[in-house]
Amino acid sequence: MASEALTLDRVDAHYGDSHVLHGVSFALGEARLLGLLGRNGAGKTTCMNVIMGILRPRGGAITLFGRDISALATEDIAARGIALVPQGRRIFRSLSVHENLLVAARRPRAEGNHPPWGFETVYAAFPRLKERQRHVAAYLSGGEQQMLAIGRALMANPRVLLMDEPSEGLAPQIVAEVMATIRRLKAQGLSIVLVEQNPKLVFEIADDIVVLNSGRVVVSDTTAALRESGVDLHQHLGIY
Ligand SMILES: Nc1ncnc2c1ncn2[C@@H]1O[C@H](COP(=O)(O)OP(=O)(O)O)[C@@H](O)[C@H]1O
Ligand SMILES: [Mg+2]
């Protein structure tokens, strides 16, 4: 379907002999936000890795705007308009804020539906980064490092943004700021997968929710439908 930005169709993934993803399927609609929930070890980061071509799936298909990307190299996948904000931020700690953004810059594609991202727009979105543009990234606070990781992904002018636990290790007030940023990005037309362990955060922000448990999808529905049915996601997460 043309309105789907990203789909996984029965994806299987392994690390060596260890079978980690078992027939994982889900679809991210254009300009929608999908919350991917699961406790530690459920396979969330592995999903990000197979989407980005960091780990080759052994079965199934992955499409980006209707085109199969499952056999492409990471660089070619990124060039088609998808960017990852990795778990643990992974910024270049010894480079300045500005240099971190510079290395990620990529010319916008014609089909981009928001004003293209560059230094000016990223600094306008994250004034703290502008103030600290000459600072070495290692000396930023956790929240600022997360903003830098998001800003860096935006510099590639993606149409689909994958965010792997951006709230991890941040104080509640900073988490609220990060979530407000994610809301703004969605309002600008980005299609977003937000990986989270906290169901409450996902219920507040996502249009659609997918829950992984031991590498399998155990819940996949709209947030509205899940809210209506009063489902207890903690149970599906395997928390009790
Ligand atoms: N590089 C790796 N080599 C072997 N096993 C891995 C590797 N990365 C993750 N795993 C295993 O794969 C499973 C899923 O991990 P992961 O996708 O990181 O989960 P999550 O992001 O949901 O916490 C876990 O059992 C984890 O131990
Ligand atoms: Mg993870």
Domain positions in the chain: 4-237
Q: What is the pLDDT of residue 112?
A: 59
pTM of the model: 0.95
Percent of the chain residues topping a pLDDT of 70: 96
The pLDDT of residue 74 is above 60: yes
Please indicate whether residue 240 or residue 107 has the higher confidence score (pLDDT). 107
Q: Is 132 in the pocket of ligand 1 (CB under 6 A)?
A: no
126: how many CB neighbours lie within 10 A of its CB? 21
Q: Is 38 in the pocket of ligand 1 (CB under 6 A)?
A: yes
Three-state DSSP at 156 gives: coil
Q: Hunting for tokens 């994958």 — which residue is that?
A: 162
Ligand 1 mutation target, pool 17, 21, 45, 210, most atoms within 8 A of CB: 45
Listed in sequence order, the residues at least 6 apart from 127 whose beta carbon sits closer than 8 Å to its beta carbon are none
What is the C-alpha end-to-end distance of the chain, expressed in Å?
37
Q: What is the pLDDT of residue 234?
A: 81
Mean of pLDDT values over 6-21: 97
**Which of 73-77, 101-105, 132-136 is predicted with the least confidence, judged by mean pLDDT?**
101-105
Q: Is 167 in the pocket of ligand 1 (CB under 6 A)?
A: no
pLDDT per position as a tens digit, 159-215: 999 999 999 999 999 999 999 999 999 999 999 999 999 999 999 999 999 999 999
How would residue 3 be classed by pLDDT, with cut points 50, 70 and 90? confident
The pLDDT of residue 235 is above 90: no
Q: What is the pLDDT of residue 48?
A: 98
Tell me the CATH number of domain 4-237, given options 3.40.50.1980, 2.40.160.20, 3.40.50.300, 3.40.50.1100.
3.40.50.300
Mean of pLDDT values over 35-63: 97
Percent of the chain residues topping a pLDDT of 90: 89
Mean of pLDDT values over 77-87: 95
Q: Can you read off the two tokens belonging to residue 227?
A: 């809210």
Q: Is 86 in the pocket of ligand 1 (CB under 6 A)?
A: no
C-alpha 84/C-alpha 86 separation (Å) is 6
Cα-atom radius of gyration of the chain, to the nearest Å?
17
Q: Is 40 in the pocket of ligand 1 (CB under 6 A)?
A: yes
Say if residues 91 and 150 touch (Cβ distance below 8 Å).
no
Nearest to 55 by CA among 16, 2, 105: 16
* Distance from residue 42's CA to the centre of ligand 1 (Å): 8
Mean of pLDDT values over 107-119: 74
Q: Can you read off the two tokens belonging to residue 109?
A: 């594609």
Q: What is the pLDDT of residue 110?
A: 63
Q: Can you read off the two tokens belonging to residue 200?
A: 């409450």
Q: What is the pLDDT of residue 108?
A: 73
* Distance from residue 22's CA to the centre of ligand 1 (Å): 13
C-alpha torsion sign, points 20, 197, 68, 117: negative
Which ligand has the minimum distance to the alpha carbon of residue 86?
Answer: 2
Q: What is the pLDDT of residue 96?
A: 97
The pLDDT of residue 26 is above 60: yes
Say if residues 6 and 82 touch (Cβ distance below 8 Å).
yes
